[in-house]
Amino acid sequence: EIVLTQSPDTLSLSPGERATLSCRASQSVDRYLVWYQQKRGQAPRLLIYDTSNRATGIPARFSGSGFGTDFTLTISSLEPEDVAVYYCQQRLSWPPLTFGGGTKVEI
């Protein structure tokens, strides 16, 4: 099973600041790393698939990078509506499909 470790647990920033979220895999997942956003009380929403491809309707301030075992989700200029928990997921090797523990972004 591929274990995903996200850091930090919580990120506290001000509007307009840059947010950098990390996801590290216990073994290579190639480029098959996905990011989701979950706002309080809502279902998760797909943000980025396969490292760097933004899903439909996702603003350009969200970007992803990385390869192998180390990945980053960047929010270039934080907006109040970006307050959420962000999860990474690997889809290279399954079952099981695995998620990271999440990073909470607060303002």
Partner 1 sequence: EVQLVESGGGLVQPGGSLRLSCAASGFTFTNHWMNWVRQAPGKGLEWVASINQDGSDKKYMDSVKGRFTISRDNAENSLYLEMNSLRTEDTAVYYCARAAGGADHYFEYWGQGTLVTVSS
Binding site for partner 1 (CB under 8 A): 34, 36, 38, 42-46, 49, 55, 87, 89, 91, 94-102
Shortest reach from residue 77's CB to partner 1, in Å: 26
Nearest residue (CB) to partner 1, 82 versus 98: 98
For the bound state, the minimum distance from the C-beta of residue 48 to partner 1, rounded and expressed in Å, comes to 10
* Of 9 and 14, CB closest to partner 1: 9
Q: Which residue number, 19 or 34, has a Cβ lying nearer to partner 1?
A: 34
Looking at residue 34, the DSSP 8-state letter turns out to be E
**Per-residue tokens: 26:** 């216990």
3-state secondary structure 52-107: CEECCCCCCCEEEEEECCEEEEEECCCCHHHCEEEEEEECCCCCCCEECCCEEEEC
